[in-house]
């Protein structure tokens, strides 16, 4: 059976329209199979392919499709689709946040941090982004850096309770480490 990752990946020299035609044909065959899980799993793939990620108007639909794969635990396909979204819109907050979370879920904390750093370089201003980044830094035991990120989240939204909780946690860890 064709993997989900390969089905949406363009082959060498293949245009996006060629991908759409090939994928539709492949999916029609797969949907015919009574044992196929594809019947339920790929409801969002056709419209996302029709718009194409290269069309920025279709990007939210493609991003939503990536998120659906992410929620279902198909991290390989979700990762591929998030990366494709970022190729066309490097400042996509949702793609950056979700890709960083995906890497963290896979246990690839270093790659997760790299994605957060990229988001920070492009100037993302989102309290959830900075709170998630702070939580990752807490996991690494880098409490001063985590405190800085939590404070950035609170600058953006002073009422963001998760950031306030991380800030308190960082202060407590720094106090505890100074006592040792």
- Same domain for 131 and 117, yes or no, is no
- Same domain for 82 and 7, yes or no, is yes
- Same domain for 112 and 74, yes or no, is yes
- Same domain for 87 and 118, yes or no, is yes
CATH classification at residue 79:
1.25.40.10
Which residue, 126, 107, 59, 68, is CA-closest to 86? 59
pTM higher than 0.75 for the full model?
no
Tabulate helix, strand, coil % of the chain (nearest 5): 75, 0, 25
Contact assessment for residue 170 and residue 143, using Cβ atoms and an 8 Å cutoff: yes
Per-residue pLDDT for the chain (180 aa), expressed as one digit of tens each? 344 445 455 567 777 677 667 666 665 665 555 544 444 445 455 555 555 555 555 677 778 888 888 998 889 888 988 998 898 889 999 999 999 999 999 999 999 999 999 999 998 899 999 999 999 999 999 999 999 999 999 999 999 999 999 999 999 999 999 987
Domain count across the chain: 2
């Amino acid at each position: 059976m064709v993997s989900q990752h390969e089905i949406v990946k363009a082959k060498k020299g293949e245009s996006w329209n060629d991908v759409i035609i090939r994928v539709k044909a492949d999916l029609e065959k797969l949907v015919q199979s009574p044992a196929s899980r594809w019947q339920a799993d790929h409801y969002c793939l056709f419209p996302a392919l029709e718009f194409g990620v290269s069309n920025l108007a279709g990007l939210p639909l493609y991003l939503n499709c990536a998120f659906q794969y992410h929620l279902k635990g198909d991290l390989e396909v979700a990762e591929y689709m998030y990366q494709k979204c970022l190729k066309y819109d490097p400042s996509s907050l949702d793609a950056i946040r979700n890709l960083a979370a995906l890497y963290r879920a896979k246990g690839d904390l270093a790659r997760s941090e790299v994605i957060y750093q990229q988001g920070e370089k492009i100037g993302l201003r989102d309290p959830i982004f900075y709170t998630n980044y702070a939580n990752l830094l807490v996991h690494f035991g880098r409490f001063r850096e985590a405190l800085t990120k939590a404070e950035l989240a609170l600058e953006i939204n002073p009422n963001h309770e998760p950031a306030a909780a991380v800030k308190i946690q960082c202060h407590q860890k720094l106090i505890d480490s100074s006592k040792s």
